[in-house]
Structure formats: structure tokens, C-alpha cells
Amino acid sequence: MTTHFKLDRDDHHSDWRLLFQFSTVTWSMILLYHVMVFSWTLTHLHWPEIDNDDRTWESKLLRLMQPPQQTGYARSRFYFSLFYSLVHVYCFMMTLIFWTVLVPNGHGHLPKHPDDPATPPSYNDHFCEAGP
């Protein structure tokens, strides 16, 4: 739905811009986080002990999906904590910037009714008007 909304707008930029927008990067990181946590939960609940000597593709996939070893000094634990913090900070930061900076200045790209007197004029409306 979000992709359709972004692609359906009249814009002179290329559609490749969507890959590099902050909201798309944040959404991708949140999706990756949820996929990781879902796979870890699934493997932990259904296959708590996986044989390390088993070389079948099912075992290799399950070992890949399971969470890293929980030792106190593991770097993977630090990297996951860093990834978790970044995902949530980016999400809240994007929301804060959108609602406190972009929307009040008329750059929120929200659909608005042109006859609504409560709708503030956008920044571009002041400089693009034809007049004396």
C-alpha cells in the first residue's frame, strides 16, 4: 500500500528514489528484524536441540535460523543489540520528523481537500503563484 502510494504520485524523479528514502530503509530494517525474531522463535519452540553433526539441508537451514549462542562476551549479541536499537530509533525518529517538521510545513504529502480552510498552504504555493 505504501509503495503504491509513493509510486502513484506525480513526481519528476525516478522511481529508483524509493530505495534510498529514509522511510523505505527504516521499513526494510523493521521487516528484517521481524523476520529474524520470528525465525528464532520458531526454531526455539519447535526444534530446541539441533544436532551439529547432521549435514542434511534441513539441519543446515535450522541452524541458520536459530539465534546465536548466548554467551556473555559474544559479538553477535552486541551486533544484534545495536541493530535492535537502530531499528527502533530510526522508526521513532522518522515519525517525529514527519509529524513535527514536514506536516506542519505542508510537505507531508498527505491527501488534502483544496477547499478546506483549515489546510495550511504549502511552502511551494507561496512561490509558484502567478501574480503581479
User: What pLDDT is recorded for position 121?
Assistant: 56
CB-based contact 21:9 (threshold 8 Å): no
Count of domains in the chain? 1
How much of the chain exceeds pLDDT 90, in percent? 5
Reported as a single tens digit per residue, the pLDDT across 43-74 is 878 777 777 777 888 877 877 777 766 666 77
**Alpha-helix runs per DSSP H in 8-111:** 22-46, 57-65, 75-97
pLDDT in tens, 73-84: 778 778 888 898
Q: What is the mean pLDDT of the chain?
A: 75
What would the mean pLDDT of 26-31 be, rounded to a whole number? 88
Helix (H, G, I), strand (E, B) or coil at 70: coil
Residue 74 belongs to domain spanning? 2-128
* Percent with pLDDT over 70 in the chain: 69
Q: How far apart, in whole angstroms, are the C-alpha atoms of residue 40 and residue 67?
A: 5
9: Cα separation from own chain's centroid: 20
